[in-house]
Amino acid sequence: MIRNVVVGISGGVDSAISAHLLKERGYNVLGVFMRNWDENDEAGRCSGELDLKDAEWACQRLDIELRQVNYVKQYWMAVFTQFLDDYQQGLTPNPDILCNKHIKFDLFHTHCRERLQYDAVATGHYAANSWGNYLEQQLQGEEPRLLIPQDKFKDQTFFLSGISQRSLRHTMFPLGCMLKTEVKQLARQIGLQRLAEKRESTGICFVGKRNFKSFIGEYLSPRPGPFIDIDTGCEVGQHEGIHQWTIGQRCRLSSFLQPYFVARKEPLRNIIYVASGHEHPALHSNRLTIDPINWLCSTAKTRYVQEGRLRCRFRFQHTKPLVNCSIIEEEVVLDSPLRAITPGQYAVFYDDQACLGSARILRSKPLDQLEQQTVKHRAT
């Protein structure tokens, strides 16, 4: 039976309310603050220190003990180094998925379960675990499922899609049945208005408010190369390095009737192919190859292995609508083409209720001529 729960306290309203809810339900709650990145912002302030102060303040108000763990070195090796390597290879990584996979739901889970001897870990993610009553479900032999939360707008299952089934078995998501507006309202009611009014962090945590090109330039040296028009093969400009650009991004080249957008990158030749017009067919794809899938649902995995294919739903950006697809071996075939499918990002799979798993996108395949005509017709 679950009695003792560690809550990952971030200094934000979501994790604080998660701790409050668990305490109200009678669990023995311990807060733990993770330090994953140590660097001052452009104003000379360390955002980690500011978050720690908010975490300490919240735990004092909730009468919960707060401890700290430091994963700065591990984060650098498992997440940030991979982030830089991917950009050098022309890929666009997702550090949030990597952080959850390697740090929050691996090292942190191990620390809480083995060293602190706690039964489970809870976070402030907007997601749900199908194991409502942990002991009862385990006796029935059912596995936990990573469910889509009630707040579809705040749904964070996309970023949790790379975690292990083992970690999911010991994870609680207290906010799964709440809307963000309800979380903030509750925070005000229990005296945590300071957190309810705190601005939410968005984007890549270690970049912060800084210009991305300036940030990445601190770690990767410029390597100039040509922008090549994908239709004509002519050079239309120069770039300072493929690591500064991602698929679908506007290039802002001057003196052209239509804006150019990044369609493809060739790291070995240091070439960026660009397409004229936001809806150019070269920016669309309906087939992509992927790494082996990290499965969170054994039923879907079994069906995929036995039948060699699986019908499900797909997204590669957490804010985009789900689209129908088929997974056939290590290729994803979409029912309709999508714009700017980006190698290095993650293909995340769903059924109507839950996240089934994910896999990193290795490459997207260009449309055939008939499919290109369909995209052109749709754009006009």
Active site residues: 99, 205
286: β partners: none
Q: Who's near 38: CB < 8 A, 6+ residues apart?
A: 46, 48, 72
Q: How far apart are CA 186 and CA 124, in angstroms?
A: 14
CA 276 to chain CA centroid, Å, is 30
Q: Which of 131, 152, 157, 150 is nearest to 142 (CA)?
A: 131
Residue 67's H or E segment, with its range, is strand 66-70
> Residue 149 is encoded by which pair of tokens?
């939360």
Q: Which of 338, 342, 159 is nearest to 249 (CA)?
A: 342
Helical spans, DSSP H, in the chain: 13-24, 47-62, 72-75, 81-88, 95-99, 108-110, 134-139, 157-160, 165-168, 180-189, 193-196, 212-217, 298-307, 369-379
CA dihedral 39, 40, 42, 47 (to 10 degrees): 100
Q: Who's near 130: CB < 8 A, 6+ residues apart?
A: 137, 142, 144, 145, 146, 147, 354
Longest dimension (CA), the chain: 68
Q: Which of 205, 156, 180 is nearest to 318 (CA)?
A: 156
